[in-house]
Structure 1
Amino acid sequence: MSTQQFTGVLAAVVTPFTTDASAVDVAGIGRQVDHIIDGGVHGLVPGGSTGEFTSLTVEERKASNRAYIEAAAGRVPVVAGTGALSTAETIELTRDAKDAGADAVMIVPPFYDAPDFEALVAHYSAVTEAVDIPIMYYNIPAATGVELTSQQLGELGRRTGVTSFKDTGGDFPKFTEVHFDEAEHIQALNGWDTLTFAAFALGAGAGVWGAASIIPGLCAELFQAVAVDGDLDRGRELWAKINPICVFLESHNYAGAIKAGTALVGVDAGPTRLPIQPLAEEHIAELRGLLRNAGVSVG
């Protein structure tokens, strides 16, 4: 399988819930999708940490992924989160996402009993053999306990159907190594909000970005300025507005902060699910101020 080359900003999206958080709000997914795509963002990544995937049942995960794919209606690529604790469940979710029309899947390593590298290769190889679809490796070592070297990431790309990785590790020197030394085998996508400007300036062709669910227009503008036009002066102007928002999001429970942001910009996604707590009122007020300072219309 050739290396999948994503382009632009892919929004890490929330899972909207009904007001009592008892069910996935499918209509709410449609509102999220229109808000993000209308803002100029280039792709969607449901079913990740921002989407509270650990609080969803298998059937809810399938339903959410399918609803995002249906709402996108081919306008942008959808990379469905399908990682699970077992290989069998990962394959089940991945097969369902492909059948629904996902362009790729994002698979986090099994995150309870952290596998060694050979076990990890076996896991991703089994998924590759079962389902023919590009895989984005979800690198989030703080949650999984799995920390790969840049060379191991390249080897994972050579030996399995992994074609890209979302880096939510925050190790920018390692990200740089992968970008330059392993690009033939795996595409490096930044997934650490406050490193977005640096990654685009480095030459990364794409990134997975939770803030794009709140401020899609500004995120798309930044990509255009830095990654496409090479206009670093314009990029710095935009980043001066965006970075404080990213710092805020990374300073709180991320899924809860993103949901608070979507509500402020008029696309309420409902509550978080326990044990994730909603953002406190004083923090919502702070986020409102940051968005207004960036020129975003908020409620």
Structure 2
Amino acid sequence: MTTEPFTGILTAVVTPLTGDASAVDAAGVKRQAEHIISGGIHGLVPGGSTGEFTTLTLDERKQANELYVEAAAGRVPVVAGTGALSTGETVELSVHAEKAGAAAVMIVPPFYDAPDFEELLAHYGAVSDAVDIPIMYYNIPSATGVQLTPEQLARLARETAVTSYKDTGGDFAWFSAVKELHAQDITALNGWDTLTFAALASGAQAGVWGTAGVIPRLCAELYEALGVRGDLHAGRELWSRIFPICRFLESHNYACGIKTGVELVGVSAGPTRRPVQPLAPEHRRELRTLLEAAGVETVDDAAATA
């Protein structure tokens, strides 16, 4: 297996949809990729929660992953989300992602039956046998009902092709235990927006961050300040502008918030799929205000929906 540690900020990207939400919008994928990569971000992660993967068909998931690999054109790595309810479908998506050119796959545990640890070992082991690219474990216990101990996560990495994990658990003590005690087995990537400053300041080498799809330049600057230069003063100044946006997004349906954000900055990705509804007008105005307070230029609503 070929593997190279991820560094920097990898954006958890949206799945752009046509205006009636009936299909993946290929032009929209290119628009998102250019906005993000030109903003200095270090990787793309399609097919996760931000990408509304649970609302997509199997073919749409494959299409979105292919389109993002194509749009990245080798400039940054693409980590394709391939988690599914069954091992068979997870393997199918992962094999397809590898053939499409993904640098790695991100796999969430099956999120209905809450498999036990031995079942997880078999599940991730089956994918490991089927592909020759690394696996990023997607830790999001609020959605999966699966909460591993730090020791179990390290064992999972030792016995399968899992080399890193995205932590969307929100428990910084748990994240720190994995990062500090099990770094020889697995690389810890922050995936909880409002903990980004703390994670980077504590030495995490990478993060998967949906907000970077809206404000890529500010997010890249935060990583440069904390992760590269170790400049806490500059990092704190940037974080004071970024944090209110992160807090807002964590207070609403996340995919909808990100899609509203990219629309407000002029790179519309279409609607979310139902049952998720658009942000209420007052929340949309609040997000615009937060973006502008952070120094981000927004477009008017007529231009945003054009």
Whether TM exceeds 0.5 here: the answer is: yes
Structure 1 residues 152-231: aligned runs within 5 Å: 152-231=152-231
Indicate if the aligned counterparts of 1:83 and 1:107 stay in contact, CA closer than 8 A.
yes
Contact 1:4 1:164 in 2 (8 A): no
C-alpha distance 228-78 of structure 1, shift in aligned 2 (>3 A): same
- 1:106 counterpart SS class: strand
Q: Show the counterpart of 2:282.
A: 282
Instruction: Work out whether 1:23 is the aligned partner of 2:23.
Output: yes
The 4+ residue runs of structure 1 with deviation greater than 4 A are 1-4
Q: Secondary structure at the match of 2:222?
A: helix
Question: 2:291 corresponds to which letter in structure 1?
Answer: L
Asked whether 1:260 is paired with 2:231, we answer no
Give yes or no for contact 2:205–2:227 (8 Å, CA) kept in 1: yes
Q: Post-superposition shift, 1:280?
A: 1.1
> 2:3, 2:39 → 1: CA distance?
28
Q: List per-residue Cα deviations over 1:39-71 (Å, max 9, x = no partner).
A: 000000000000000000000000000000000
- Equivalent residue, structure 2, for 1:74: 74
**1:53 corresponds to which letter in structure 2?**
F
TM-score, length of structure 1 as denominator length: 0.99
The match for 2:38 is 38
Deviation of 1:204 after TM superposition, in Å, equals: 0.3
Shift in Å at residue 131 of structure 1?
1.3
Residue pairs, 1:123-134, within 5 angstroms = 123-134=123-134
CA contact (8 A) 2:142 2:169 kept: yes
Distance 2:107 2:64 in 1: 16
Which residue of the partner structure matches residue 239 of structure 1?
239
Partner residue in 1 for 2:92: 92
Which amino acid counterpart does residue 120 of structure 2 have in structure 1? L
2: CA distance between counterparts of 1:202 and 1:69? 31
- Residue deviations 1:259-286, cap 9 Å, x none? 0000000000000001111111110100
Unaligned 5+ residue runs, structure 2?
A: 300-306
User: In 2, are the aligned partners of 1:2 and 1:163 still within 8 Å (CA)?
Assistant: no
Aligned 1:117-128 pairs, distance under 5 A: 117-128=117-128
Does structure 1 conserve the Cα–Cα contact (< 8 Å) formed by 2:3 and 2:133? Answer: no
Q: Contact 1:3/1:187 (CA < 8 Å) preserved in 2?
A: no
Q: State the number of aligned residues.
A: 299
- Which residue number corresponds to residue 293 of structure 1? 293
Taking structure 2 as the reference length, what is the TM-score of the superposition? 0.97
Unaligned stretches of 5+ residues in structure 1: none
Tell me the CA shift for residue 180 of structure 1: 1.1
Alpha carbons 1:4, 1:163 under 8 Å: kept:
no
Residues in 1 aligned to 2:279 and 2:192: alpha-carbon distance in whole angstroms: 20
Say if 1:32 and 1:213, in contact at 8 Å, map to a contact too: yes
Deviation string for 1:150-198 (max 9, x for gaps)?
1111111000000000000011011111111111111000000000000
1:188 counterpart SS class: strand
> 3-state SS of the aligned residue for 1:50?
coil
In the alignment, the residues of structure 2 paired with residue 278 and residue 52 of structure 1 have an alpha-carbon distance, to the nearest angstrom, of: 14
- Shift in Å, 1:124: 0.2
Residue aligning to 1:138: 138
Shift, 1:130, TM fit: 1.2
Cα contact 1:111–1:144 (8 A) shared by 2: yes
Deviation at 1:4, TM superposition (A): 4.3
